[in-house]
Chains A and B, each alone.
Chain A
Amino acid sequence: MPNIVSTPMHGVARRLTRTLVVGGVATLLLGACSSLLDVDNPNNVTPNALDNPTAAGALVNGAINLNANALSSMMNAYNIISDESFQTGSRDDYRLLDTGGLDINTNEYLQASYLVAMRARWISEQAMQKVAKFQADGSLADPQLLAQAYLMGALIYDEMGNMYDDVAISDRTVAGPNLGEMNMVQVYDSALKWLDLGEPIATGDNHANIVGLRARVRFDRAVWLMLNPPGTTPANPLVNDPQAVADATQAISEMSGDYIYDLLVDNTNSGDDASGGVGFEMNSRVEHTPDTAAFVTIDLTNKKPKAIIAKDPVTGLVDAAAVKMIGRFIFASDINHPPMAVVSKREMYLIRAEAALAAGDNATFDTNINALRAIDGKAAYTGTGPTRLQLLQWERRINLVFQGRRLNDMYRFGIKDPRWLSTSIAVRKPGCLLPIPLLERDANTAITGTPVCQ
């Protein structure tokens, strides 16, 4: 036995042993003190804090900011599918979208947009529920917060219908089933329900926004019904929804000047997903570039837009509406975070004009289209030059540019992006939108059915 020498304990050692035993016990007791484990980590908010009425503002702001984020992320995936922009960068999954391959459910930009959209949906619903409860309890200091919560809930549901073929509605860990591709009209119905609840509460701009968004949702719902089931171009692509027209008329009366309700994305909102948001991807990283056939010229050195060249089909001059609406997106003061339009007076005129055209009421069409053109000082349309249908398509294209309307317009008007491959889903099945991403399908056992759009 090496190096171990047994030494009889003497008195000192015994005292030592006792001391050590006492010390050891004290050590154990002190170590067990739970205060050592009670650490201070003030970085986040716990769930019960959201039940405090003072959290109403934070909930609604969270919904607004996440909706802004979601719009930025969704437009990043969506714009490049349509002919509004095309791929110029390095990322392969943009190329898939650009060439009409929007049915690939592993696409990273689809996934990124879906994640942010689902987060926005959930927090918007939380905001509606909790703030409505505060209102019922009489503890809500500012009822306009509830109106804004309904506005955000309706917005994200409307955008889900416009962007995705199908969605699932789950809650935290509880998986919810998908609505089904043929049932997506329900998201518009939900949006309308909330807007109806919000409308009596809202005042001022909130009221204009709610009524305007309701017009938009009704219009988008009609477009969805027109394009589904997907696979054909509708014989009559025009929407004439009287309730949409009525809401648009009401909204116009409440909107002054060139009224646009924007959601603003700040720097902390971008980069919250796989991309940096549409502004960064388009204007800084230049992964995609605005359409050079109709919209802009670009600097061949850096592929950034140099000038807006979109021509007004009526006058043949550079279209002032295009200069404004494209310009505010690509030449924004903060190019990484351009404004994300939600509701505009321009769109209200377009809804009324289209309904009139669908009804064969050229005079009303001209009245509304010229009211729209007057916003930018453009010459009135008198029936010469482009047809009314052509003019409607053009005005929609530039007045709603980068707002997530173009792909459905292309589908219903039978327009194909020259970059779409003939074998792509965009060509084969007009009306098909982005699918539920694989990430959701893998995680959600409640999802059933096989996508129609594949």
Chain B
Amino acid sequence: MPISGRYRAALTLLVLPLMAALAPVLRAQDAAGVGTIEGHVRAQGTSRPVEGAQVHVVGANMDATTNADGVYRIANVPARDVQLRIRMLGFASVTRNVTVQAGSTQTVDFTLSASAVQLEAIVTTGTAGATEVKRLGNTVATIEPPTFAPIRTASEMLQGREPGVVGLSSSGLVGEAMKIRIRGNASLTQSNEPIIFVDGLRINSSGASNANATLSNLDAIDPSTIERIEILKGAAAATLYGTEASNGVIQIFTKQGSAGPPKWDVTVSQDFSNYPTNRIDDNWGVPTRAGQLDTLKKLWGRNDLALYTPFSEPLQRKYFETGSAQTVQVAVTGGTQNLNYLVSGNYSDDDGPWAAEKLGGLAQDVVRRSGGRTSVNFFMTPKVRLGAQATYSNTYANRPQYGNNIYSPVTLLEFSKPDLGNCANSDPTGTDPDFGVQAPGVCKIAGNPTGSPNAFGTPRETAQKLAEITGDRFISSMNLAYMPTASLNVTGLLGVDYLSQTVTNFQPFGYNIDGVIGDDVYGDKGIQDTNNRQITLDVKANWTRDFLTSFNSAFLAGVQGFLTKVKYPGSFGYDFPGPGISRTDAAGTQQAYDGILETVNGGYFAQDQVAYKNFLYLTVGSRYDYSSAFGKSAAGVLYPKASISFVPSDLAGFHVPSVSSLRLRAAWGKSGRQPSAFAKFTTFAAQTGPSGAGLRPDNLGNPDLKPEVSTEVEGGTEIGFLHDRIGIEATYWKRRVNDLLFGLQYPPSGGFTNAQLTNVGVMDAHGTELALRGFVVQTPDVSLEAFSNIAFLKQKVVSLGAAPELKTGGSYARIRGYIREGYAPGEFFGAKLKQVPAGSLPYDINKDGVPDTEAEMLAFLSVPRDYTAIFNGSVIMTEDGINSDLGKPTPDYTGSFGANINFAKNWRVSSLFEYKGGHYTYWCLICGFRNASPVGTNSKLFAQTRATLLNPASTAQQRLDAAKVWANDLASLTPYQGLNEVSNGDFLRFRELSVTWLAPRSVASRIGGRDVSFTLTGRNLFLWTKYQGVDPEVSYVGGGGQVGSDGSYVNENFVESIDAFGFPLPRRIGLSVRIGY
């Protein structure tokens, strides 16, 4: 494929300056003698070897990583006095001066002390190159992947580990994409996902969706390849990333090779999962007719059924099983001091706990991922390092139709009413004495045994539908680091993330095997390809120098660009000529789709960080950004930043009792979020039809459109006590987003009915993040590390300008979150039961506008009534229609706590609990359906209430009591949306547990291994909540699952606390074996 001029230009941007810089260097390589440094690294207190510690020769591109024995070795070190620095997350860094002699080996051992404060840890994201944390006025969170935790995806690695960083689980469907939120929502209509980089390369982290089941592209990254993750939480830290960084930046650093003979690491895991059925109500029904009763007795094989007596069947549990997942990860690393490599491969096969095979269709619940990664670092000279990474991954997902979807077998099972079950289609003449029933709950040929809502289909029919997502992804980058002097560092990166993804839907010819479903019964198939190519170019130079006597400057300047091109061809066809065909071009009616989306974002940035001595640091910087979204002639946008960091504990003579470290910091910065690619322009879209190709109004356009700009200020402190065995980190932040991009609805009567992105208003947010970590016990036999964090969040839509409020969920009446001035974004508004005087009920059956008295209701209920009589016609009285404030969908606080324990030399136990709470409202849509919708109404309480209302043997008083239950606990949905649907969503979840036995070296060596460990893991083991639904982490839509046709992310952003037809998070138990050779 020829390289376009644009990409040639991009390549030139990277290569020219670097090659120009390299040329003289390659001629002037240092010819002096070299030596070797090696040694052991152990932890103070426990004396255990420290694996993974970074040993670095200061001022040179020379590093080594300690192995499982805590051993490191660096060869070819210039024979002179050098500084050797060792860093390891969780430990205080140590620096030693070493004199290297040519041809000899120096042994330098280190003892690292655990440190709960990480002021000297090195971070590189959003900074002037590699920088110590203490030099930055903003927070840069670092997550080190827990070695033995029950983590199967990169998303899970982010969940619950850092205050203010939240992983929204979405639901318990296998592979369902998690949404990542950092400090809440910095945009109303644009994606609130942080942008994600892998080793400096920006990747496509959007999700994919098929039939309402979503899949994370972030999770295509093998978590075992991740060395650490750095997180910029907001504009104050992410300014240098410019437009699109206002929701934060996540940078994943992958493991790199280490010198030495080949070392193999193999991990094999087996997980089992199941759904917590104790929170899932069985399906209930009430026989109300004699003939129906006879049929039901036969259908369910139950003679205990009786008229007006509720009964239940475990229709959902029947289709649960124990899920099984296998994972194999293999990595080998080695090399010389000049060239090292790491090659890894992974395969995982996750068959979730939904028993798809019992329905016999094409739908399954499996996600398979496989891939490989290669990383090579070539230290051309002590001053030049060339690195190359390449990752390939393949993803296959086959999940059922899902979520709020009437063609989902999962939904239809949730809807099913056992009192409506029948096998009539197996007995069309009505003469079979068995009523067409073959066995309890099973029809002889066809039928609707579960009693799913008749019009939509049976679970068996909808399970015939295939919904696949397949993806091939190639991520590759090349980076060059050149350090001509100890004070000058130039780096460049050019990389590409290419994702080819295919979403396929197929329903076979004649899939209506029960004779119920009516949608395209001659079959249909849709294919949607997405070819997403994202190129990253990043060149920057970092120049450090001392000036005057006590000052130091670190100056950074660079250019960064992202070129994205997405092509999305597709086809659809329906009405196949016969069974067995699954090609769109074989269908009677065929359509083709096509589209291209190209965007270019880029900018220049510069920053200077000035240090005074070793305790005061001031940073100023800015980025000037361009985006193709505003046209080629549009001006750029400037995003400035400033920060200050003061470390009193580094002052000579600092002494505060028990306080070993103290830092104060403050930062201010701006970042942005650009609108979607065409939002600025007026466009007409194709409107095809039998009369020929036509045009229709599409995008209204807004020539004044600009990015929304997030301004954030934060201040905080880190305090270490007792030689940093206990550490506290506290941050307060405040954010204002101006020029909010809002889907302004102009009058639809103007012809352009899509909302138009417009900069309209202001949204404020502030929060506090606290983290506490302590090494409570540290002895050779036992160590205990405990941690806890909490993040508070308040958000408010301050102004929408002249724009009207916006309802989330579009026209879908059952979702009533609102973007409304003065409220949290997504605040729920709906029906609240009217408060009535004693002796009255919140009913107005006689429509006199006055609450009916109990006497009036008793008279009305003196005869049997169905529930519709006290539902239809707006007879239930509410306080303010459906406009009462019902609460907000985001919790006041989120957090986690846990502990890591080492004992008996070879045992480790780690735990993590996660919680959310505080004015946290969860909207249970499925509860509304199961309690009050004609197609649901299968909850136990509903069945009992209806039976009482209908039973001729009930007294009027009993019916009155039932009517009270109906109004107070059950009545929901239109015209009372919100009534009895919202409840407290606070929860505490036992998220992770792992118990590891590290085999003694003697045991490992018996099987030829270097080290061996066995880990028993558990995930989502217990849930404590008062939430009325199955799980307060089940969301209406998963990550990347609901982007509007106008590119709006309103629903993606603000329907997260709506529970609709999802599986609860499964409990997962697993066993991992790790062997190193």
Chain B binds chain A: yes
* Interface set of A (CB-CB < 8 Å, partner B): 1-7, 9, 12-13, 15-17, 19-20, 22-24, 26-28, 30-31, 33-47, 49-50, 55, 57-66, 68-69, 88-90, 92-93, 95-96, 99, 101, 104, 106-108, 111-112, 114-116, 118-119, 121-123, 126, 167-176, 264-269, 274, 280, 283-287, 299-304, 334-336, 421, 423-424, 437, 439-440, 442-444, 446
Query: Which of A26, A121, A302, A336 is packed against the most chain B CB atoms within 10 Å?
Result: A302
Whether B21 and A16, one on each chain, are in contact in the complex, defined by CB atoms closer than 8 angstroms, is: yes
Chain B residues contacting A50 (CB-CB under 8 Å) are 684, 695
Chain A residues contacting B5 (CB-CB under 8 Å) are 35
Which of A12, A19, A61, A62 makes the CB contact (< 8 A) with B17? Answer: A19
A7 to B488, CA, bound (A): 10
A62 to B694, CA, bound (A): 4
Known A-B contacts A1-B613, A57-B692; the reply to A122 vs B17 at CB < 8 A is no
A160 to B316, CA, bound (A): 46
Known A-B contacts A61-B687, A64-B691, A286-B518; the reply to A6 vs B487 at CB < 8 A is yes
Chain A residues contacting B812 (CB-CB under 8 Å) are 108, 274
Known A-B contacts A16-B488, A172-B750; the reply to A286 vs B456 at CB < 8 A is yes
Known A-B contacts A36-B561, A44-B685, A264-B690; the reply to A4 vs B487 at CB < 8 A is yes
Chain A residues contacting B447 (CB-CB under 8 Å) are 301
A90 to B404, CA, bound (A): 12
Which of A23, A60, A268, A444 makes the CB contact (< 8 A) with B591? Answer: A268
Known A-B contacts A24-B541, A92-B973, A274-B811; the reply to A41 vs B596 at CB < 8 A is yes
A364 to B21, CA, bound (A): 99
Chain A residues contacting B929 (CB-CB under 8 Å) are 90
Contact with A along B8-37 (1 / 0, CB 8 A): 011011001110110011001000000000
Query: Which of B453, B696, B697, B872 is packed against the most chain A CB atoms within 10 Å?
Result: B696
Q: Indicate whether B693 reaches chain A with its CB closer than 8 angstroms.
A: yes
Chain B residues contacting A35 (CB-CB under 8 Å) are 5-6, 9, 632
Whether A108 and B598, one on each chain, are in contact in the complex, defined by CB atoms closer than 8 angstroms, is: no
Name 27 A/B residue pairs within 8 A (Cβ), A-sorted. Answer: A2-B132, A4-B552, A7-B486, A19-B24, A27-B17, A36-B600, A40-B598, A41-B677, A44-B699, A61-B692, A61-B693, A63-B694, A88-B454, A89-B453, A90-B934, A92-B813, A95-B974, A96-B975, A101-B874, A170-B749, A173-B756, A175-B749, A266-B688, A269-B689, A285-B455, A336-B520, A442-B805
Whether B546 and A41, one on each chain, are in contact in the complex, defined by CB atoms closer than 8 angstroms, is: no
Known A-B contacts A22-B20, A90-B933; the reply to A37 vs B627 at CB < 8 A is yes
Whether B750 and A41, one on each chain, are in contact in the complex, defined by CB atoms closer than 8 angstroms, is: no
Which of B6, B519, B814, B872 makes the CB contact (< 8 A) with A421? Answer: B872
A56 to B832, CA, bound (A): 54
A332 to B6, CA, bound (A): 52
Which of A3, A45, A69 makes the CB contact (< 8 A) with B683? Answer: A45
Whether B746 and A172, one on each chain, are in contact in the complex, defined by CB atoms closer than 8 angstroms, is: yes
Which of A90, A95, A104, A443 makes the CB contact (< 8 A) with B748? Answer: A443
Please tell me the size bucket of the interface on B.
35 or more
* Minimal Cβ-Cβ distance residue in A for B5: A35
* Minimal Cβ-Cβ distance residue in B for A89: B455
A69 to B690, CA, bound (A): 12
Other A-B pairs beyond A39-B600, A303-B455, 5, CB < 8 Å? A12-B484, A58-B693, A59-B695, A92-B973, A421-B872
* Minimal Cβ-Cβ distance residue in B for A124: B751
Q: Indicate whether B633 reaches chain A with its CB closer than 8 angstroms.
A: yes
Q: Indicate whether B579 reaches chain A with its CB closer than 8 angstroms.
A: no
Chain B residues contacting A46 (CB-CB under 8 Å) are 681-684
Which of B10, B589, B614, B692 makes the CB contact (< 8 A) with A2? Answer: B614
Whether B611 and A1, one on each chain, are in contact in the complex, defined by CB atoms closer than 8 angstroms, is: yes
Whether B17 and A24, one on each chain, are in contact in the complex, defined by CB atoms closer than 8 angstroms, is: yes
Chain A residues contacting B695 (CB-CB under 8 Å) are 45, 50, 55, 58-59, 61-62, 123
A6 to B85, CA, bound (A): 18
5 closest A-B pairs (Cβ-Cβ)? Answer: A122-B751, A23-B17, A92-B974, A61-B694, A62-B694
Whether B684 and A302, one on each chain, are in contact in the complex, defined by CB atoms closer than 8 angstroms, is: no
A5 to B12, CA, bound (A): 32
A89 to B596, CA, bound (A): 38
Whether A66 and B687, one on each chain, are in contact in the complex, defined by CB atoms closer than 8 angstroms, is: yes
Whether B748 and A115, one on each chain, are in contact in the complex, defined by CB atoms closer than 8 angstroms, is: yes
Chain B residues contacting A265 (CB-CB under 8 Å) are 689
Whether A266 and B813, one on each chain, are in contact in the complex, defined by CB atoms closer than 8 angstroms, is: no
Whether B747 and A170, one on each chain, are in contact in the complex, defined by CB atoms closer than 8 angstroms, is: yes
Which of A172, A284, A299 makes the CB contact (< 8 A) with B700? Answer: A172
Whether A12 and B745, one on each chain, are in contact in the complex, defined by CB atoms closer than 8 angstroms, is: no
A30 to B515, CA, bound (A): 65
Whether B975 and A285, one on each chain, are in contact in the complex, defined by CB atoms closer than 8 angstroms, is: no
Whether B683 and A44, one on each chain, are in contact in the complex, defined by CB atoms closer than 8 angstroms, is: yes
Whether A172 and B596, one on each chain, are in contact in the complex, defined by CB atoms closer than 8 angstroms, is: no
* Minimal Cβ-Cβ distance residue in B for A265: B689
Which of B10, B484, B544, B614 makes the CB contact (< 8 A) with A13? Answer: B484
Chain A residues contacting B779 (CB-CB under 8 Å) are none
Contact with A along B918-958 (1 / 0, CB 8 A): 00000000000100011100000000000000000000000
Chain B residues numbered 840-881 whose CB sits less than 8 Å from any CB in chain A = 847, 872-874
* Minimal Cβ-Cβ distance residue in B for A31: B559
Q: Indicate whether B244 reaches chain A with its CB closer than 8 angstroms.
A: no
Whether B684 and A44, one on each chain, are in contact in the complex, defined by CB atoms closer than 8 angstroms, is: yes
Whether B17 and A26, one on each chain, are in contact in the complex, defined by CB atoms closer than 8 angstroms, is: yes
* Minimal Cβ-Cβ distance residue in B for A289: B455
A35 to B752, CA, bound (A): 31
Whether A1 and B589, one on each chain, are in contact in the complex, defined by CB atoms closer than 8 angstroms, is: no
Whether B632 and A302, one on each chain, are in contact in the complex, defined by CB atoms closer than 8 angstroms, is: no
A5 to B486, CA, bound (A): 7
Whether B814 and A92, one on each chain, are in contact in the complex, defined by CB atoms closer than 8 angstroms, is: yes
A16 to B872, CA, bound (A): 81
Whether B486 and A304, one on each chain, are in contact in the complex, defined by CB atoms closer than 8 angstroms, is: no
Q: Indicate whether B490 reaches chain A with its CB closer than 8 angstroms.
A: yes
Whether B598 and A440, one on each chain, are in contact in the complex, defined by CB atoms closer than 8 angstroms, is: no
Which of B448, B563, B591, B597 makes the CB contact (< 8 A) with A267? Answer: B591
